[in-house]
Amino acid sequence: MLDIKFIRENPDAVKENIKKKFQDNKLPLVDEVIALDARRRAAIAEADQLRAARNTLSKQIGMLMGQGKKDPAKLQEAEAVKRQVKEQADRLAELEKQEASLETELHGKMLLIPQMIDPSVPIGRDDGENVEVQRFGQPKTPDFPIPYHTEIMESFDGIDMDAAGRVAGNGFYYLLGDIARLHEAVLAYGRDFMISKGFTYCIPPFMIHGNVVEGVMSQTDMDGMMYKIEGEDLYLIGTSEHSMIGRFIDQILPGEKLPQTLTSYSPCFRKEKGAHGIEERGIYRIHQFEKQEMIVVCKPEESADWYEKLWRYSVELFQSLDIPVRQLECCSGDLADLKVKSCDIEAWSPRQQKFFEVCSCSNLGDAQARRLRIRYRDENGKTQLCHTLNNTCVAPPRMLIAFLENNLQSDGTVLIPQVLQPYMGGTEKLTPRH
CATH number of 175's domain = 3.30.930.10
Bridge partners (DSSP) listed for residue 388: 297
pLDDT-derived band at 278, boundaries 50, 70, 90:
very low
SS3 state of residue 9: helix
Any residues with CB less than 8 A from the CB of 10 and at least 6 apart, and which?
Answer: none
Instruction: Report the Cα–Cα distance between both ends of the chain, in Å, rounded.
Output: 55
Claim to verify: residue 278 and residue 377 sit in the same structural domain:
yes
Span 58-68, mean pLDDT? 55
Claim to verify: residue 142 and residue 102 sit in the same structural domain:
no
CB-CB neighbours of 97 under 10 Å = 11
Nearest to 367 by CA among 234, 258, 200, 241: 241
Q: Establish if 278 belongs to a structural domain.
A: yes
Q: Is 312 exposed, middle or buried (0-12, 13-18, 19+ CB in 10 A)?
A: middle
Domain final residue, candidates 47, 75, 110: 110
Tell me the pLDDT tens digit for each residue of 6-47: 999 999 999 999 999 999 999 999 999 999 999 999 999 988
Chain-centroid distance, C-alpha 414: 35
pLDDT of res. 225? 85
DSSP for 30-47?
HHHHHHHHHHHHHHHHHH
pLDDT-derived band at 91, boundaries 50, 70, 90:
confident
Claim to verify: residue 237 and residue 132 sit in the same structural domain:
yes
Claim to verify: residue 66 and residue 167 sit in the same structural domain:
no
Kindly state the DSSP code that residue 117 receives in the 8-state scheme: P
**What whole-number distance in Å separates Cα of residue 349 and Cα of residue 153?**
16
Span 240-246, mean pLDDT? 96
**What whole-number distance in Å separates Cα of residue 5 and Cα of residue 9?**
6
pLDDT higher than threshold 60 for residue 268: yes
Q: Is 157 exposed, middle or buried (0-12, 13-18, 19+ CB in 10 A)?
A: middle
What is the percent of the chain where pLDDT is above 70? Answer: 90
Claim to verify: residue 148 and residue 57 sit in the same structural domain:
no
Claim to verify: residue 153 and residue 89 sit in the same structural domain:
no
Claim to verify: residue 299 and residue 422 sit in the same structural domain:
yes
pLDDT-derived band at 60, boundaries 50, 70, 90:
low
Q: For residue 107, what are the CA distances in angstroms to 48, 125, 434?
A: 21, 27, 60
SS3 state of residue 302: helix
Tell me the pLDDT tens digit for each residue of 355-382: 999 999 999 999 999 999 999 999 889 9
pLDDT-derived band at 70, boundaries 50, 70, 90:
very low
pLDDT of res. 422? 97
Claim to verify: residue 138 and residue 190 sit in the same structural domain:
yes
Bridge partners (DSSP) listed for residue 390: 295, 362
CA atoms within 13 A on the CB side of 149: 26
Any residues with CB less than 8 A from the CB of 112 and at least 6 apart, and which?
Answer: 26, 29, 218, 219, 337
Domain final residue, candidates 83, 110, 137: 110
**What whole-number distance in Å separates Cα of residue 23 and Cα of residue 235?**
28
Q: Establish if 117 belongs to a structural domain.
A: no
Claim to verify: residue 215 and residue 314 sit in the same structural domain:
yes
Question: Mean of the per-residue pLDDT values for the chain?
Answer: 90
Claim to verify: residue 225 and residue 310 sit in the same structural domain:
yes
Lowest pLDDT segment from 47-56, 296-305, 392-401, 412-421: 47-56
Nearest to 261 by CA among 303, 194, 200, 188: 200
Tell me the pLDDT tens digit for each residue of 299-309: 999 999 999 99
Bridge pairing between strands 252-254 and 375-377? parallel
Claim to verify: residue 253 and residue 212 sit in the same structural domain:
yes
pLDDT of res. 80? 64
The CATH number of residue 17's host domain is 1.10.287.40
Helix axes 303-320, 177-196, angle to 10 degrees: 140
User: What is the number of domains present in the chain?
Assistant: 2
Tell me the pLDDT tens digit for each residue of 131-172: 999 999 999 899 999 999 999 999 999 999 999 999 998 889
Q: In which domain, by residue range, is 170 found?
A: 127-430
CB distance 184 to 191 below 8 Å? no
Number of helical (H) and strand (E) elements in the chain, helices listed first: 13, 18
Domain final residue, candidates 79, 110, 141: 110
Lowest pLDDT segment from 91-105, 114-128, 381-395, 408-422: 91-105
Any residues with CB less than 8 A from the CB of 275 and at least 6 apart, and which?
Answer: none
pLDDT higher than threshold 70 for residue 212: yes
Claim to verify: residue 170 and residue 230 sit in the same structural domain:
yes
pLDDT higher than threshold 70 for residue 62: no
Kindly state the DSSP code that residue 149 receives in the 8-state scheme: H
pLDDT of res. 221? 78
